[in-house]
A and B are shown apart, each in its own frame.
Chain A
Amino acid sequence: MDRMFATKSKVSKVKFCRSEPLEESDRISSLPDAAIHNIFSFLFSNDVVKTSMLAKRWRYLWASAPDIFLDDEAIPTSDRESGFVRFVDGLHRHHKAPEIKRYYLRLQQPNNSTFAESWVQFALARCVKRLFVNVVSHVPFRMPSCNSVRRMKLKLRGGDLVLPAAGGFTMLKYLALSEFRLAGNSVLDVNSDYCPLLRSFSLKNCSGLIGLRVDCPDLEDLCIRQCLDLDHLIVSGANIQTLSVEKSFTDRRPTSLVKITAPNLQTFTWLDRIIDNFSAGEFRSLRVAHVYLEIYYYEDTNNAQRFFQYLASAENLQLQMRCFWVCLKSYSVLPCFSS
């Protein structure tokens, strides 16, 4: 009986009476459907549909594949617009999987973006779990409420994003919004009714977002970057561990307000202006604070001084300031850091 040791360091050699598989035989066709579907999950859908021509075993395999990858730049069609639209419509019409695991839609031709909503509706009707939409658009994109999506990434260049006013996303755990514009001067209220299970939330490069209130019990990570119209930020969450705010409060407005309640915050990044009306609860678990302040006005030095009080328990503080010399001259801005 052959014995073999497979350890971290070595596999001892064993002599096998190897029954050489016939080199010409087809092994892949004997894999279970789920394994072939997993191979499909690394291909764009046009390559997947093509496999229907391989042999009888493959005839309908593509139609039950749980992943759909559509990209009007990567999928060659007779022309990027009507040919691509025909492809996607045909794919949806013939696709038989009752549930879609991942639906990836990237549309770089603005004319295709008019279809984005109805195509996403198709995915939602199939209880999609992971939804990725990346669209260059000249029309608004209305994202409906849904109860199946766990992970959602929306990137919309051009058109407005309209999020559902009520309902929300009951199963959503991971939400990333980028390069989008919210219609009107919007206030986004992401609370435990809207996204009760949300754990990670990021907003990047957005305009039209005036107010953001985030209050989700399971939220661990929140990242806000270049939300240029932001004026109100109210964050509250017992499980928040990382919070990052960058380049959002760039204009000095008297109405600006920031309120943070995150008792278990561990990593805090603030690369932004310190606004007059800034308040936070105690950061008892703070380990790392990364702060870059730009000090333009005399009052800013007062604000900075108050701001640093919140960071007093940080074990590791990275601090960069512009106009640092002003502060040194006028005030002793830095408090004592205990740790």
Chain B
Amino acid sequence: MSTESKEILVGESSQAKPEKKTIVLMASDGDEFVVDVDDITNQSEMIRNLISDMGGTDGLQVPLLNVTAPVLAKLLELFNVSNKNDDDEEVTQKVKELMEAELNMMIDVLGAANYIEATSFFDLSCKVLADKFKGMSVEEVREFLNIECDFTEEELQQIHAENAWAFD
């Protein structure tokens, strides 16, 4: 088979047969994502280990029970940014933008990165999030993260008293 028009081979879905090896990631809702083996193993330790345990990539389908399709799509999009750039600047910027625009999506992506053990991307996302609420008051953090306070006023006072050393 001719390999001249790589662009088309990569872009056309069904009969595409790229030279590169691929595997299929299945989102929790059953959607399938075909990903380049090098790209995904570059990021995910879990998939790297899985491939080495299975002894190859042929026909490999990886069900990701905790990750929905939109989240997986966003995660793969960010992996692409990360794989394309040598330093983390560009991908950090993208994660920040995502956090500002859609915080819940950003946290879901962070959770998915943790789930598939994409350690460096996960660390980077954690840092972006931590930097955001560094120095915020408890109320500000709660509001920023949409956390509902399920303590009674009494309980709050009790925690405050217990941890007076921290809140003086």
Contacts and interface: CB of A to CB of B under 8 A. Distances in A.
Contacts, number: 170
B45 interface: no
A26 B149 CA distance: 11
Interface stretch (A49-57, A117-125, A260-268): A49-57
Interface string A206-218: 0000000000000
B126 A2 contact: no
Interface residues of A, number: 57
Given A2-B31, A12-B13, A43-B130, A50 B114 contact: no
Contact of A7 (B18, B130, B164): B18
Given A10-B11, A28-B145, A52 B163 contact: yes
Interface string B109-133: 0110010000000110011011101
Contact of B32 (A4, A39, A47, A91): A4
Interface string A78-99: 1000010011011100100000
A28 B111 CA distance: 9
B166 interface: yes
A8 interface: yes
Nearest to B33: A4
Given A1-B32, A7-B20, A35-B114, A90 B163 contact: yes
B163 to A, nearest CB: 6
A277 interface: no
A35 B116 CA distance: 12
B80 A46 contact: no
A293 B165 CA distance: 56
A54 B141 contact: yes
Interface string B138-151: 10011001111111
Contact of B68 (A8, A19, A39): A19
B148 A26 contact: yes
B50 interface: no
B163 A94 contact: yes
Nearest to A30: B111
A111 B131 CA distance: 30
Contacts of B105: 21
Nearest to A83: B168
Contact of A51 (B13, B141, B165): B141
Contacts of A14: 31, 69, 73
A142 interface: no
A11 B77 contact: yes
Contacts of B30: 1
Contacts of A4: 31-34, 73, 76
A253 interface: no
Contacts of B129: 39
Contact of A42 (B20, B77, B131, B159): B131
24 contacts: A2-B31, A2-B32, A4-B31, A5-B22, A6-B40, A10-B10, A11-B73, A25-B104, A25-B146, A26-B147, A27-B146, A28-B145, A28-B147, A31-B114, A39-B126, A42-B126, A47-B134, A49-B166, A53-B138, A53-B151, A53-B156, A54-B138, A54-B141, A89-B165
Lowest 3 CB-CB distances: which A-B pairs, in order? A90-B165, A42-B130, A27-B107
Interface of A: 1-12, 14, 16, 18-19, 21, 23-32, 34-35, 38-44, 46-47, 49-56, 58-59, 77-78, 83, 86-87, 89-91, 94
